[in-house]
Each structure stands twice: as structure tokens, then as C-alpha cells.
Amino acid sequence: MFVSNSEPEPANRLQRVLAFMVAALVILALLCFAGAMVGYFMGALENGVSGFWITLVMIPWFALPAALLLTVALLIVTGIRRSRENRR
């Protein structure tokens, strides 16, 4: 009879880094989105977007897809680690 080890191995450094990068990008995107909303309501985005505001508006456009790709990478790394763990 096969008895599995009840204690899973802790996450390795790569998994922790990927998880924190995903969290940081999502939080950054949400903060920038909120900042863009505030800028819109203050009227800063009506007369053409320039400088600081264009950066604030564009960060979520790149941060959210990057967070999605990092999430997929995290799932792949976790799946590989678990398959190696189950072979033992």
C-alpha cells in the first residue's frame, strides 16, 4: 500500500518570485487605474493626455497582460514541480 507524505514541499524561490511579481503587477495596475479615474474626474485627461497621465493610463494596458503571462508561468512551474514530486 502506498502512503503519501502529508507534508508538501515548500514553494521554491522561483514560485515565490513569480507569485509576488503577479501580485505587484496587479496592485500597480489597479492603483494606476484608480489614479486615472481620479485624473479623469478632475479634468486632467480632457484636454489631451500628456506626460504623467499618459503613463498612468498606459501602465494597466501592459501590467495586466504581463501578470496573466506570469500566472501561466507560475502554473507551469508548479505543475512541473508537483509531477517531479509525485515520481519520487
Summarised one tens digit per residue, pLDDT across range 26-58 is 999 999 999 989 888 887 767 766 778 888 889
Position 30 scores a pLDDT of 97
Beta strands in 1-88 (DSSP E): none
Report whether 57 contacts 36 (CB < 8 A).
yes
| pLDDT confidence of residue 33 | 94
Domain boundary assignment for the chain:
25-81
**What is the spatial distance between Cα 74 and Cα 83, in angstroms, rounded to a whole number?**
14
* pTM across the whole model: 0.79
pLDDT at site 8? 64
Residue 82 carries which DSSP code? H
